[in-house]
Amino acid sequence: MNELLTQLVDLQAIDLEIDQIDNAIKAEQSGLDERISALAEREALINSLKEQVTNQQKETRTLEDEMADKMDHVRERQSKMMQVQTGREQTALLKEIEDAKRAAKENEDKIVSLMETIETLSNQMEEEKNLLKGEKELVAEETEKVRSNIEGINKGKKQKDNFRNGQAKQLKQSLLKKYDTLRQRRNGLAVVNVLDGVCQGCFMSIPPQKYNMLLKGDQLFDCPTCQRLMYHLAPVEEEA
């Protein structure tokens, strides 16, 4: 095989190993990130419940004050009943008293319903707080586990990185750039084998003439379909 191609294939082999390490680290981290964001969501839910309870409590106090005013009004009107002279005045006062009582009763009903809601919300909030506490403990354990897993995965990565950089330095800048760009755009594979005239990167056939030239192994070719650099390496069973 062309010397340059051998270098590229070797470089890609080490890059794929490094990719695997990076992906394994990402997978570890993303599982943990999901759990951490679930914690944040639960915290937000608890805060919203707390706010609802505070608002409803405020509303309850307003209604209680209103109800007290209405009852004061009822008492004041009732004491006035003694001084009333005519039947008509009496009827008017009685109606006023009845209306105030009814209004006070309406307030009371609203207060009862609000207090039920507050109780439901408070119970839910307590439940969520307990869940959050448990989850926080689990996430703390998980964080420690992930940290140690990543440490394990990372072992040997630095050595691979150094080796990779050494390999890369041996290549011409323009070729290395092309290789890096291809890897970015083509899912990590910049250099691919061609088997029976088929590119093993995109699985499209390459023109027979190009294939024949490729078989000689002394030139660099791009796949006409996916533009990856191509080489030919016969499968082991064919060589045997």
User: Does 9 sit near Zn ion (CB under 5 A)?
Assistant: no
* Beta bridge partners of residue 192, listed in sequence order: 230
Residue number, 105 or 185, with CB nearest to Zn ion: 185
Measured from the CB of residue 230, what is the shortest distance to Zn ion in angstroms? 7
Non-local (6+) Cβ contacts of 126 within 8 A are none
Is residue 6 a contact residue for Zn ion (CB under 5 A)?
A: no
DSSP annotation of 85: -
Closest approach of Cβ 225 to Zn ion, in Å? 5
* Contact string (CB under 5 A) for Zn ion, positions 169-208, x = contact: ------------------------------x-xx------
In whole angstroms, give the CA distance from residue 24 to residue 44: 31
Of 36-44, 48-56, 208-216, 217-225, the segment contacting Zn ion by CB under 5 A is 217-225
Considering CB under 5 A, how many residues would be counted as binding Zn ion? 6
Question: Rounded to whole angstroms, what are the CA distances from 130 to 40, 48, 78, 123, 144?
Answer: 14, 16, 52, 11, 22
Closest separation in Å from C-beta 203 to Zn ion:
7
Q: Which has the closest alpha carbon to 201: 225, 181, 177? A: 225
Q: Between 3-80 and 157-169, two packed helices, what is the crossing angle to 10 degrees?
A: 130
Are the C-beta atoms of 231 and 217 separated by less than 8 Å? yes
d(CA 37, CA 33): 6
| CA–CA dist 46, 120 (Å, integer) | 13
Smallest distance, Å, CB 228 to Zn ion? Answer: 5
> Smallest distance from the beta carbon of 212 to Zn ion, in angstroms?
17
Q: Which of 30, 90, 113, 225 binds Zn ion (CB under 5 A)?
A: 225
CB atoms within 10 A of CB 192: 21
Q: How far is the CB of 215 from Zn ion (least distance, A)?
A: 16
Please name which of 32, 37, 54, 38 lies closest in space to residue 131, comparing C-alpha atoms. Answer: 38
For residues 27 and 204, which CB has a smaller minimum distance to Zn ion in the complex?
204
Our CB check for Zn ion shows the closer of 32 and 214 to be 214
Per CB under 5 A, the segment of 8-16, 113-121, 161-169, 225-233 that binds Zn ion is 225-233
Binding region for Zn ion (CB under 5 A): 199, 201-202, 223, 225-226
